[in-house]
Amino acid sequence: MKSIAENPIDIPRYPLEFQQIITAKNHNFVGREFVFSAINNFLSQSDRGYFTIIGDPGVGKSAILAHYVSQNPGVVYYNVEITGKNRVEEFLTTICTQLIEIAQNQGIKTCVERSRNNLTPSFPDSTTEDSGFLSLLLQQISNRLQPKQRLIITIDGCDRIDLNNQPRGSNIFYLPRYLPDKVYFILSRRPFLADKSGLLIETPAQSLDLSNYLEQNRADIQEYIKTYLSKSCHPVDASAASRRVHSVSEEDVSLNMTEQGFDDETNFMYVKEILAAINQDIYPQNLQIYYQNHLEKMNLATHKQQSMALQVLNILVQEQPISIEASAEILDVDEYEIKEVLDKWREFLNLESIAAQMHYSVYHANFRDWLSQQIESKL
């Protein structure tokens, strides 16, 4: 991947928990060049702005940002999925700490004093109340950037942000509506409704939806499998693999897994966990936990419509995508009731236009099968 800046700014110190996740997500990283090319094109064509990577759960958004940060010194990093990091107060405190370090390395005198250990800044009282202090730091740093320098802030997992402590209608994490010259935010998030972006901005913006790059995703998955197998010291148990991955044959799995088992796969999380547990005669525990978290989030979103949500879920676990109209006819209910549930589950659904009608399906076949098993176990 080509570096985004010939003259990078001084790198801030990431909190240890961020550095650990960057390192972990970088393990066995391959490909994704089409994403990095799109980011670089945006940076070269826009003097500032927001770039958003959109993708289903498990397609590798976090790994993309982690690799991007590791390859581009000076990029600010924040990860929402870490416990406690989904609140605006924590975000502004952490990000402003990194920005103050950059500003002071540039020789900028800030209005912030440091405590005796010289690590924890003492912020103005209004720091976490709106974007005012954040915007001030961005402007101060922008004013000192050299012609080829950029300030880039990455935020991973915007779909997990807790909006309960923010005023209704405010931008997620109070992200600025306007940005100064050479300042960019790169965000990652799951699919969302257009009117639920949580961002009202007046600055250049671009999105890259990973679902529009299926061939590139498949190629990267295949490369990942080859890399994993080449580094693995353990022989692959073909019979164990075939019990969990229905498309993997028992013959020569270790050499032909890509062709026979995952040639149409685009979900990194699924492939990673299957490979890690391929010699174990059990369902991968991490996938079980991952899917359980999905289901809990779905249940929480529709807790006031439990009966309707369960009926809709029973339809979605069928293999074929289905329209709202067809679902309403099956359940003999108003289409609005169906749409209300589906909208709340948007991040876990694929949308496909068929015969001029939007059809819905669960984002990944294995998650759909897992949901079906959960439903059957409770009957």
Residues 69-98: pLDDT tens digits? 999 888 999 999 998 999 999 999 999 988
Q: What is the mean pLDDT of residues 243-255?
A: 41
Q: What is the pLDDT of residue 153?
A: 96
d(C-alpha 245, C-alpha 50), whole Å: 39
Q: What is the pLDDT of residue 104?
A: 83
pLDDT(242) > 70 = no
Domains delineated in the chain: 16-212 (3.40.50), 218-282 (no CATH), 286-377 (1.10.10.10)
- Tell me the residue type at 227: T
Q: What is the pLDDT of residue 252?
A: 41
Q: Which residue has the higher pLDDT, 152 or 106?
A: 152
Query: What pTM was estimated for this model as a whole?
Result: 0.87
Could you tell me how many helices (H) and strands (E) the chain has, helices first?
14, 10
**Using CA of residue 359, residue 365, residue 371, residue 373, what is the dihedral sign?**
positive
Condensed to tens digits (0 to 9), the pLDDT of residues 1-47 reads 655 555 566 666 788 899 999 999 998 899 999 999 999 999 999 99
- CA-nearest of 197, 104, 89, 190 to 134 is 89
Q: Which residue has the higher pLDDT, 354 or 7?
A: 354
Q: What is the pLDDT of residue 274?
A: 87
Q: What is the pLDDT of residue 341?
A: 96
The DSSP code sequence of 171-232 is PGGG--SS--TTEEEEEEE----GGG------S-EEEEEGGG-HHHHHHHHHHHHHHHHHH-
pLDDT(237) > 80 = no
Cβ atoms of 238 and 245 within 8 Å: the answer is no
Confidence band of 110 (pLDDT split at 50, 70, 90): low
